[in-house]
Amino acid sequence: MKQASGEKCINLKLKVWRQKTQNSKGRLESFKAENISKDMSFLEMLDVVNEGIILSGKEPIAFDHDCREGICGTCGAMVNGRAHGPEKGTTLCQLHMRHFSNGDTVIIEPWRSRAFKIVKDLVVDRSAFDKIIQAGGYISINTGGAPDGNAIPVPQEIAEKAMDAAECIGCGACAAACPNASAMLFTGAKISQLSLLPQGHPEAKKRALAMVCKMDKLGFGNCTNEKECEAECPKEISITNIARMNREFLKSGLFS
Amino acid sequence: MKLDSKIPNGPLSEKWDRHRFDLKLVNPANKKKFEIIVVGSGLAGASASATLAEMGYEVKTFCIQDSPRRAHSIAAQGGINAAKNYQNDGDSIWRLFYDTIKGGDFRSREANVYRLAQVSNSIIDQCVAQGVPFAREYGGQLANRSFGGAQVSRTFYARGQTGQQLLLGAYGALSRQIAIGKVSLFTRRDMLDLVVIDGKARGIIVRNLVSGELERHSADAVVLATGGYGNAFYLSTNAMASNVSAAFASYKKGALFANPCFTQIHPTCIPVKGTFQSKLTLMSESLRNDGRVWVPKTPGDQRLPAQIPESERDYYLEDKYPGFGNLVPRDVASRNAKQQCDIGKGVGDTQLAVYLDFKDAINRDGHDAIARKYGNLFEMYEKIMAHNPYETPMMIYPAVHYTMGGLWVDYNLMSTVPGLFVLGEANFSDHGSNRLGASALMQGLADGYFIIPYTIGSYLAETSPEKIDNDHNEFNISSLKVEARIKKLISIKGKRTVDNFQRELGNILWEYCGMSRNNSGLKKAKKLIKNLRAEYWENVLVGGSEQDFNQSLERAWRVADFLEFGELMVIDTLERQESCGGHFNEDYQTDENEALRDDNLFCHVSAWEFRGDKRKPKLHKEPLTFENVELAQRSYK
């Protein structure tokens, strides 16, 4: 997709996945998106299309979105086969129409993954990610009685690495982009964050084992080093987090 | 109705300790017999849910998103305040208390704000223990930065994603309780009504946003943590789904709404670009640590920033407020940006923007140091604006960001409906008429982790609510009323979409009830909103059907409430004939255009009681008394 030049507005042809409910049959439906300002975000373009659909008495395209500033992880769709569209390190809400050209055809589909069922149109059920976190993606401490924040120094480089992993927004692009529908980048990021920090050490083994088992049970596939997850992650989370997860998992198996 | 704030007796610094001792306790074995509903899963809701469950209560948590991790607290960028004094720069609980009271322009309760400052330190400890990856110094100690309205460095942060990291910490704690069955989680649920039985909050009616079904949930107490009402303005930095409906439904069931005229307009947001725009994006206030705000000295100067020599730039904040410079509080910074644009010195295509320039900081500290502090913010700016802020100054303009008003609560965070507690941005309690930066995260977590767990126990111990079923007649009445309203919205089938109405409401409020207000504009706005609301109920077009996943209907419900709430906001604004903090009535200003308070007539909280659709709401005043700080004209010079 080349950088559009010159004109302020563009016209696009959209092919959008429409599916009424989880169990009904879906299909691509065509829409015209006309007079789209290049300053619009992708979701604002969909807003404009939806306003037209509503005025014509039909049902608007359902899509998930909330913060529209790239941090809540609610939005996401496959745009011309790419999770969150063509721009690297960008969520769908932060993708701007200046990256499209007049006359482009844009195919918009929901995340496709065994563990993410379609709710309607582009909306999917990502509660499987919540279940992975529930299996152990936390440090078990009740409110109250925590020691002073500076009691345990954390080397700056370790804090930075933990933060690199913690930036994950849980959008699901990694699993959607992976040919095996693996959730290893998502799971690895959380395991990494907590195993890097000293506060997370006491539970590290138990956590890795529980989260990896849960991930498998939910129907996510395995990692075969395709690196699609890293390429499509809007927060550019590194696959070294998967390697770290594997080490933690091995430790939990070998030494427990 | 007489408002009783239930502020404990005794010296300020001992009130909370004494009160905690006086509060009744629930026997550990009995806690599991009580059910508590928590609506909202942001910082306040998630921290309250997790903590109450840890204590042994049975908790039911509701959120509108598909996952509790996505609540809008996640978007908070810059940081969270605490009075740790790790920097040895003279900070203390007293100083954090004083800065917050003064920052709020003396329109908040001393006792509440002092308690907030007291628990601020425990919040940091709790979050560190949870594994929140706060920024660290080379020696491994926690790092701090400065924020507006303070001359000490007390803000803890995790890059530009502090809200995200704190929320994920609370979400982790919540997830742990879900896993062991102490919290039942209900996602994609919208609270549409509060159920009050025998004068007590006993349940809620929610719409299942996937199936469209109405559900009834009962409990022994209800906790609202549903955020603010900024989206009444349509364009704001709030998430698209943020709304006032749960709070407004509670208002109609007897909870008083306090200070709805207090809205925070944040000075550093990305400017509006076109009529298609759906939301505005904040650029963290932390940027004002290193960015210098300026406009051209000559009105109408259209040259590119690089072509404007130093001598022709007006660093108006630094000149006017040498003491605080670019770090004046938000309301002051916003109003000054507006004043510069009003006299023609605004920049960019729309001339509704000012520069925030990092050139000097990059020359001083180097590109990499600035990238470490603000990298993600600079990237976000470039994605939206297609300009690189390392090379050319950012353009910024004020935008609606936070609402200090909210449901009235007493010192126990309980509303005027017994058993209905309100936390975080949804209550009115701690920020007066202007919130200081990095204090929203502090308040949300203070309420959820450290205050409600004590106060709700005392309520339950004292009242020991009777068991009820959700086929109680009050549930039937509520459910039928909600169903009728939904059917009505769908059946109108008019000619204007929901978004179209919301934009118009937003324009009215921004124009007449925004950064600067005057009485004639407010009176006009009141009429315009009334007319718009009347048209809404005759001419709105809602797509789709009710028994379905229907985002058009979700918005239609919320906008219907905003149309009623907007009028209440204007009524309150008109009533407060003074200026204070974020509420600036043009008739009340000092010679230097600062907000001019009237402490004789308006040193009170304005709390509004709903009296039916046809009658004007009734005003109740809670006087504010200042025993520990002196009421003074704010000065940041």
- Of A31, A116, A51, the closest CA to residue B499 belongs to A51
Interface probe with A: pick from B175, B185, B546, most Cβ of A within 10 Å: B175
In this predicted structure, what is the pLDDT of residue A160? 95
Q: Which pair of structure tokens corresponds to residue A64?
A: 């998930």
Among the partner residues A39, A60, A143, nearest to B449 by beta-carbon distance: A143
Alpha-carbon span A52 to A61, nearest angstrom? 11
Record: contact A96-B543, CB cut-off 8 A: no
In this predicted structure, what is the pLDDT of residue A1? 37
Alpha-carbon span B177 to B182, nearest angstrom? 5
Alpha-carbon span B35 to B229, nearest angstrom? 28
Alpha-carbon span B132 to B128, nearest angstrom? 5
pLDDT exceeds cutoff 70 at B353: yes
Write out the catalytic residue numbers of B: 330
In tens, the pLDDT along B7-63 reads 999 999 999 999 999 999 999 999 999 999 999 999 999 999 999 999 999 999 999
Q: Is B592 exposed, middle or buried (0-12, 13-18, 19+ CB in 10 A)?
A: exposed
Among the partner residues A47, A127, A155, nearest to B140 by beta-carbon distance: A155
In this predicted structure, what is the pLDDT of residue B226? 98
Alpha-carbon span B422 to B142, nearest angstrom? 31
Alpha-carbon span B498 to B543, nearest angstrom? 9
> In this structure, are residues B51 and A146 in contact, taking their beta carbons and an 8 Å threshold?
no
> In this structure, are residues A83 and A181 in contact, taking their beta carbons and an 8 Å threshold?
no
B155-156 and B80-81 as β-strands: parallel, antiparallel, unpaired? antiparallel
**What DSSP state is assigned to residue B414?**
B
Predicted confidence band of residue B465 (pLDDT cuts 50, 70, 90): confident
Alpha-carbon span B546 to B127, nearest angstrom? 41
Alpha-carbon span B242 to B191, nearest angstrom? 12
Q: Which pair of structure tokens corresponds to residue A121?
A: 């149109």
Record: contact B139-A146, CB cut-off 8 A: no
Alpha-carbon span A214 to A205, nearest angstrom? 14
Could you tell me which residues come within 8 angstroms of residue B100 by beta carbon, excluding any fewer than 6 positions away?
B108, B113, B116, B117, B430, B431, B436, B439
DSSP A138-161: S----SS-PPPTTSS---HHHHHH
- What's the mean per-residue pLDDT of chain B? 96
ipTM over 0.90? The verdict is: yes
Alpha-carbon span A244 to B286, nearest angstrom? 33
> In this structure, are residues B569 and B261 in contact, taking their beta carbons and an 8 Å threshold?
yes
Q: Across-strand partners of B217?
A: B204
- Of A223, A8, A21, the closest CA to residue B549 belongs to A21
In tens, the pLDDT along B60-116 reads 999 999 999 999 999 999 899 999 999 999 999 999 999 999 999 999 999 999 999
Q: Which parts of chain A register pLDDT below 50?
A: 1-5
> In this structure, are residues B256 and B408 in contact, taking their beta carbons and an 8 Å threshold?
yes
Alpha-carbon span B306 to B583, nearest angstrom? 36
CA-atom Rg of chain B in angstroms: 24
Average pLDDT over residues B313-327: 96
DSSP B257-309: EE-TT-EEEEEEEPPP--TT-----B--GGGGGT-EEEEESSTT--S-GGGS-
CB contacts under 8 A, B 483-512 vs A, are 495, 497, 499-500
In this predicted structure, what is the pLDDT of residue B352? 94
Q: How far is CA A112 from CA A23, A63, A123, A183, in A?
A: 14, 14, 11, 13
From chain B, the residues in CB contact with A60 under 8 A are 543-544, 551-552
- Of B178, B95, B86, the closest CA to residue B128 belongs to B86
In this predicted structure, what is the pLDDT of residue B148? 87
pLDDT exceeds cutoff 50 at B452: yes
What number of other Cβ atoms are within 10 A of residue A193's Cβ?
Answer: 26
Interface probe with B: pick from A143, A187, A194, most Cβ of B within 10 Å: A143
In this predicted structure, what is the pLDDT of residue A5? 44
- Of A85, A86, A40, A43, the closest CA to residue A67 belongs to A43
From chain B, the residues in CB contact with A143 under 8 A are 47, 50-51, 54, 126, 173, 449-450, 453
B35-39 and B58-62 as β-strands: parallel, antiparallel, unpaired? parallel
Q: Which pair of structure tokens corresponds to residue B319?
A: 């000149």
Record: contact A71-B159, CB cut-off 8 A: no
In this predicted structure, what is the pLDDT of residue A138? 98
Q: Packing angle between helix B162-179 and helix A127-134, nearest 10 degrees? A: 70
H or E element: which one contains B397?
strand B394-403
> Lowest-confidence range among A1-5, B61-65, B542-546, B623-627?
A1-5
CB contact, 8 Å: B74 with chain A? yes
The pair phi, psi for residue B541, each rounded to 5°, is: -115, 115
Find, in chain A, the residue whose alpha carbon is nearest to that of B72: A67
CB contacts under 8 A, A 38-67 vs B, are 39-41, 43-44, 47-48, 51, 53-55, 57-60, 62, 64-67
CB contact, 8 Å: B192 with chain A? no
CB contact, 8 Å: B159 with chain A? yes
Alpha-carbon span A148 to B55, nearest angstrom? 22
3-state SS assignment for residue A27: strand
- Of B214, B158, B129, B104, the closest CA to residue B481 belongs to B214
**What DSSP state is assigned to residue A36?**
E
First to last CA, chain A: 51
CA A13 from centre of chain: 25
CA distance B502 to chain A (A): 13
Q: Across-strand partners of B292?
A: B357
B496-497 and B540-541 as β-strands: parallel, antiparallel, unpaired? parallel
From chain B, the residues in CB contact with A129 under 8 A are 67
Predicted confidence band of residue B635 (pLDDT cuts 50, 70, 90): confident
Question: Position of tokens 């059920």?
Answer: A125
In this predicted structure, what is the pLDDT of residue B514? 96
Alpha-carbon span B110 to B100, nearest angstrom? 10
CB contact, 8 Å: A16 with chain B? no
Alpha-carbon span A70 to A63, nearest angstrom? 15
In tens, the pLDDT along A154-172 reads 999 999 999 999 999 999 9
What number of other Cβ atoms are within 10 A of residue B350's Cβ?
Answer: 14
CA B30 from centre of chain: 35
Record: contact B281-A69, CB cut-off 8 A: yes
Average pLDDT over residues B422-451: 97
> In this structure, are residues B437 and B285 in contact, taking their beta carbons and an 8 Å threshold?
yes
Percent of chain B whose pLDDT exceeds 90: 94
Q: Which pair of structure tokens corresponds to residue B354?
A: 């000012």
Alpha-carbon span B425 to B402, nearest angstrom? 8
B127 Ramachandran zone, left/alpha/beta (phi>0; psi -120 to 50): alpha
Size of interface A-B (CB pairs under 8 A): 212
> In this structure, are residues B291 and B362 in contact, taking their beta carbons and an 8 Å threshold?
no
> In this structure, are residues A139 and A194 in contact, taking their beta carbons and an 8 Å threshold?
yes
In this predicted structure, what is the pLDDT of residue A6? 53
In tens, the pLDDT along B160-198 reads 899 999 999 999 999 999 999 999 999 999 999 999 999
